[in-house]
Amino acid sequence: MKFIARQQNFRVVLRPSIPGEKLTGRQPVPGLSVKFEGGIANVADDETCKLMLSHERFNIDFILKEEEALDPYYRKPSEPDHNITNIEYGHVGKSINPKPLVQLNADKKKALTEMATEMAKSIAKDMAKEMTMKILPDLVKQGVAEVLASQSKARNLETEKSDSDEQSNGEDDSGDEGTTPPKSPDDDTPKATRGRPKANPDKS
């Protein structure tokens, strides 16, 4: 079985050792422990595997690694990072520093996602407030200007309509004064003959 520990160099004591006593003649009893190298320990003995699975720190300080499972722990290397500098033809070149490997487990990824979501929400709220404070005065000015323009347009239309009505009424009055009614055909005949019957030429 393969076990994974949180620490880079970790040792699990399964059975403590008992020192010997020379006065009583008791022989020392060796203990049993499992040492993790690089955070990983391969245990082949079944008895030792049972002791590892029944240990009180199992699933706390070390876990059982399943097949094709990724290492959930991030361990800092025991050896510190060194400054590596290339030397070419006796001249000092550029420094090459190894980049540290960053490994995040599921809990850390979830925590980072929640933090990023909260930060994005707060930033969005602040941006919305700022945009509202900047745009609102311009919108109010634009709305007031549109209302005033519509009111002035309506007033101009009413004024033009009233002027056109007054002008049409004036033209009607002047037309009535200058025109004379048409003459009837009786107006051309002399007054003496008006109302008298016409003579019939057949009687004479």
- pLDDT tens string 2-61: 888 888 888 999 988 888 888 888 888 889 999 988 888 888 888 998 999 999 888 888
Q: Is the confidence at residue 197, as pLDDT, over 70?
A: no
In this structure, of 24-28, 65-69, 187-191, the range with the lowest mean pLDDT score is 187-191
- pLDDT tens-digit readout, 98-137: 565 667 778 888 888 999 999 998 898 888 888 887 887 8
- Interatomic CA distance for residues 135 and 188, integer angstroms: 85
DSSP state of 187: G
Residue 34 near residue 11 (C-beta atoms within 8 A): yes
| CA-closest candidate to residue 47, choices 16, 1, 4 | 1
Residue bearing the bigger pLDDT, 195 or 163? 163
Burial class of residue 143 in the structure, from the number of CB atoms within 10 Å of its CB (0-12 exposed, 13-18 middle, 19+ buried): exposed
In this prediction, residue 170 carries a pLDDT of: 62
Cα separation, 73 vs 59, whole angstroms:
12
| pTM (two decimals) | 0.36
